[in-house]
Every structure is written in C-alpha cells, then in structure tokens.
Amino acid sequence: MRKAKRKGEGKALRAEIAQKLEALAKALREGAFEFEGESWPLARDFLEYKWEVKIKEGKLKFSLSFRLDDTGSEQIFRPHKSPKQIKKQMGALWKSIWRDLRQERLPHPEDVKALEETFRGYEPFVEKAWEASWKECHERVKTLLEALETEDLPRIKTLASEILSLEKDCHRRYK
C-alpha cells in the first residue's frame, strides 16, 4: 500500500462544514472515502472507527477517524485526482510560497512539503518529452524544502527563482 498523509485546517460556516460531512457520508455509502477533492475506493463495507469529543474551558474539539487494514488490495488508498486538479493545487501552493518570498518571509514548510507531494502525485502524468525538465524542477523543489531548515532566505529565494525559471522554460517549450 502506498503511503499518503493529508492534513488541513481552516475556518468555515457551520453549513459549509455540514456539507463536507454530508458529502463524506454519501461517498461512504457508495463505497469510497472522499474528502477535499480526493477519493479512495473502499474495498470493504465494514470499517473500524474512533471518535473523541473534548470539552474544556468553553472549547469543543471533535475528531473522527476511520481505520481500514489493507489485506492485499493495492486499490484501497490510491487517490483519484485528475492531472488538472493536481496542477491547480500545485499552482495554488506555488503562489503562496512565492507571495511569502516577495514579502521577505520564509515560506511555510507545510506549503513546500505539500508542493513536493503534489509533484510526486503528478508523476504518473509526466510525458517522456518533458520528463527531464520535470525531474529537474522536482529536484529543485526538494532542495528548497531542505534549504528551509537553514532559514537562509537569500538561498531560498535563489532556488525559488530557479524553479520559476524552469517552469516558464518548460511551459514555453512543451505547452
């Protein structure tokens, strides 16, 4: 089974959160786990689950988790995202990273990690004609992630500029 980990947080109206939970419930009834635009087929009807409610000092925290053991089915947790969805996610992450750098701030490590994950997620869609350019850009993203540990803003900005240049060159040549 391929490892995958997704996290997120945000703020939304109660009605929006209820819609997300209703969509999740519908997908579960239909045999899939769907959330935030990703879908994993569920090979079994029976799931283990765990829930927790904490109320402390006027704050309420609720969590719900599902568990499904893989018994040989490679299909269970393979996300189904289209190349277009992945590219859109990649663009949004890159925009956030670039905005931080323009404001002379270090990018959020979670954004760079997520960008690297989207690169890996897009790999099955890479065409032979531009595979070398793709790999070079992906390597620069990995280096950017490593460079964040040093908090060397000039080096990080240089790497980001190189990534942007590689992206523009690749799009100019292959789009």
List the chain residues with pLDDT less than 50.
1-2, 71-79
Q: What is the 3-state secondary structure (H, E, C) of the chain?
A: CCCCCCCCCCCCCHHHHHHHHHHHHHHHHCCEEEECCEEEECCCCCCEEEEEEEEECCEEEEEEEEECCCCCCCCCCCCCCCHHHHHHHHHHHHHHHHHHHHCCCCCCHHHHHHHHHHHHHHHHHCCHHHHHHHHHHHHHHHHHHHHHCCCCHHHHHHHHHHHHHHHHHHHHHHC
Whole-number pLDDT of residue 154: 93
Whole-number pLDDT of residue 9: 80
Structure pTM? 0.55
pLDDT tens for residues 33-75? Answer: 887 777 777 777 777 888 889 998 888 888 888 776 554 443 3
Whole-number pLDDT of residue 4: 63
